[in-house]
Amino acid sequence: MFEDGFVKKGIKNLIIGLTNKMISKEVVNLVASSFILCGGISAIATFPLIPSAPVQAQSDEDTNIRVYKLASPAVVSIQTPSGNGSGSIIDAKGLVLTNAHVVRGTTTVNVILSDKRKFRGVVIASSRNPDLAVIRLEGVTDSLPTISIASSTGIQVGQRAFAIGNPFGRFAGTLTTGIISRIDSDLKLLQTDAALNPGNSGGPLLNSRGELVGVNTAIFTTTSVNSGIGLAIEADTVKQFIAAARNGAIANNPQPNLAAPMVINLNGNPITATLTAKDRTLPDGSYYKSYQFQGVAGQAVVIEMRGNGIDPYLVLFDSSGRKIAEDDDGGGGKNAKLALTLPTTGRYTLYANSYEVGETGSFVLSGRLSDNVASESTNSPILLQKIGKLGSESRIFARDGSLFDSFSFTGQAGQVVQIDLMSPDFHPYLVLFAPNSRFLKENNGLPSRRSASMTIELPVTGTYRTIVNAYDRNGKGAYKLTVKRVR
């Protein structure tokens, strides 16, 4: 799965190496492992022919049991509309630490404690880099067990490592053991051979004292099988993120009571509004306003958002809360536009959002019925155009350390589109995913090393995602991405 529920920008880790690059980088597998751990079941390890000394074996067993008893009560399972993950309770009043990709695209989650108690959780802090988030549990009346966080200073290659989590969303409280295999000081990541699988995302990597030394975030795999190389965000980075969160949204700005969504009338007067720092925020920190309208299955609707000082971004959900469409630049320039046929009858929810985190400014929002969605969607040949820069604000693929940005556009079944990525500064790598997150196509930028292009007939109608990536981990700098309809 490329993204967790409503994901933008980001869809704004996660969640790669394809044809030529598939051989050298295996980016497709990395995308999934960057956002939700995507390795399969690891092979059963063979035991050494020479047994360990009985005393040492007993000591290892005692350590395993002690670490599990210390830490497991504070390890939780997290359920979102799009998947499952793990987390650690870091405050007895109900703060849970996890990966941002676990909760990306949603503001509320279900959290299940080790004793089977269930809480509603509100995402109150989230970051792309590092891939971390904090959840506040609602309705906590007693003191919860917690996990203490160690210092990265004393971590050494070869020391024992313990992972506890909810692999595959079905085996909560699973303990696996291994060692710290490698320390990547540049990326602030710990490598471990403790088995990690889907659902372990956001769970703790522990030392022999039951202290958190890392947050499990990804695995390296060249196939669908767990390769025995897991990656965790180191403890000092975790501490810095928690401190920043506590000094901001968590400690000083409690979640306000949210007003009901405003009504937008199709074929009514346009709405003029302003995104401000007082508005609701998505988990990535961007501001948004919420609107609703009543829709009928089969209706063709067009919704446009034009910004003044912001880069508009639109996201549409059906009555069940399922994201059905999103757009960044479909309205021409930086304006957003959705043109679609409604799949069901019910109340739809629309997010008027900004592409960039922290943007504030005015916008005009309008909605109308249409006789021909296809013609509405193809007025302009330019479906998406972005001038950007791979750098400190970009996300990082945990597997190889290369930088990437993610963008989306709305396409119609049968459209032929050309996607061009050009950069004067780095060797570009281009990837395209279908609305169901299935990999469609890639281009490795060879032989030019300054541009990557593809032309493809879109198989279905929906929101497509294209990845702007650097071929190697040192690649960074300016780029221009254009998606245009050629027929």
- Closest residue by Cα to residue 410 from 380, 369, 449: 380
User: What distance in Å separates the CA atoms of residue 165 and residue 75, rounded to the nearest whole number?
Assistant: 7
* pLDDT for res 359: 83
- Cα–Cα separations (whole angstroms), residue 146 to 87, 117, 137, 163, 359: 11, 15, 13, 16, 36
Alpha helices in 312-384 (DSSP H): 373-377
Q: Are 411 and 381 in contact (CB under 8 A)?
A: no
Q: Which domains does the chain have, with CATH numbers?
A: 36-255 (2.40.10.120), 262-377 (2.60.120.380), 381-485 (2.60.120.380)
* pLDDT for res 22: 39
Q: Which residues of the chain carry a pLDDT beneath 50?
A: 1-58, 222-225, 249-258, 378
Say what the pTM is. Answer: 0.45
* pLDDT for res 399: 56
* pLDDT for res 173: 86
Q: List the catalytic residues.
A: 101, 131, 201
Q: Are 138 and 121 in contact (CB under 8 A)?
A: yes
* pLDDT for res 378: 45
Q: Sheet holding 271-275: strands in order across?
A: 271-275, 361-369, 300-308, 336-341
User: What distance in Å separates the CA atoms of residue 99 and residue 84, rounded to the nearest whole number?
Assistant: 11
* pLDDT for res 14: 36
Q: Are 85 and 166 in contact (CB under 8 A)?
A: yes
User: What distance in Å separates the CA atoms of residue 127 and residue 134, rounded to the nearest whole number?
Assistant: 9
| The amino acid at 262 | M
